[in-house]
Structure 1
């Protein structure tokens, strides 16, 4: 009996595409190098493209009337970025800033529409990606609004653990990406001072610790209780 080949792990939110449809999608992609600090698009720009991160990281931000920045998404290699409402020409609700030198693929909506019209199975996979995209948005807004700033912070720490966490031998989770208190404040719409205070409280409760400038989660269940965690799948509960 011939054993079936093990599927290759695909990073990012394009895992909802089959290998065939993922290759179809990436076959229409034009790649370019984006330097650190550059913008893929501004809030208010016409949304007529999708962007695929081959390598690197990109953050999506929303500006408030007071000029403050709220970080809503942190994308990495394998992620597809853009508005999911393909057939209506809208404008971007967020700005996309490149966090490190990245290789970005640009997918024109016209090419995407042709794939959807020509291949029914591709259209189904694209709808799956749209569903994941909307669920991430819904859960993030739920976490930001329902359980106050402590709940929003605990949810963000859980998402960081799912995205960048490494489980240690003692069961603790090391978040391998260094995050400043300002970064965390921008992710939950709080001040840096309030984040300092909440993190200090978590360290006093032995829920969190710092090692070499990186956060170590010692009691994940405590964070889950604080934000009424619904145990969403990892592809949804991510930063």
Structure 2
């Protein structure tokens, strides 16, 4: 059972050079991802005089996030596993593929990366607002919770299938682009309803900088539930439980 492989980790793990390097890689990758993703929305908003909530704006956001995540995962994959998302880290923890302490280190790095990215965006754009995620008219918090849960389940399930599964073979080489594609597709599916975050860090950075916390819990609860379920389902039904513990610094 996956739960039997869950581990807290050793206290000295937080100060080991490899763990600190992995955290730095997560910080940089998350910063670059959020800067490109959030920045693309701000740029489209400026060019169209607040017309980001249009079909063209949705497509632009999906493409920008897909490309940015592809790069962010690729550049960190050999160092930290390229999680770039607290929900992915949580899914890896629930599946027994990362310790709790290393996971917390990743979370801190990811959240800081997102906040710094939004601060940089606010500075470099001359004070433009980094808009926090919000629900569209007619969308309830429970609608959004289900959206975030299902979309993040798809994301983390894709991570497991292409990057974690020891039987992935050459499929692992396309893991970053597959992960980017599922995020882009999910933005097209859910972006008009709740913004399609799938990533607590992506929601946290703009919320901190704009100090807007309306329904913010949805963008944590949905992704963490979806990510955790994906980790459990894939580990329980599709990964041979006799395989060796997966490394967290070369793969997910």
TM-score normalised to structure 1 length? 0.26
Whose radius of gyration is greater, 1 or 2? 1
Structure having the larger proportion of residues in helix: 2
TM-score normalised to structure 2 length? 0.25
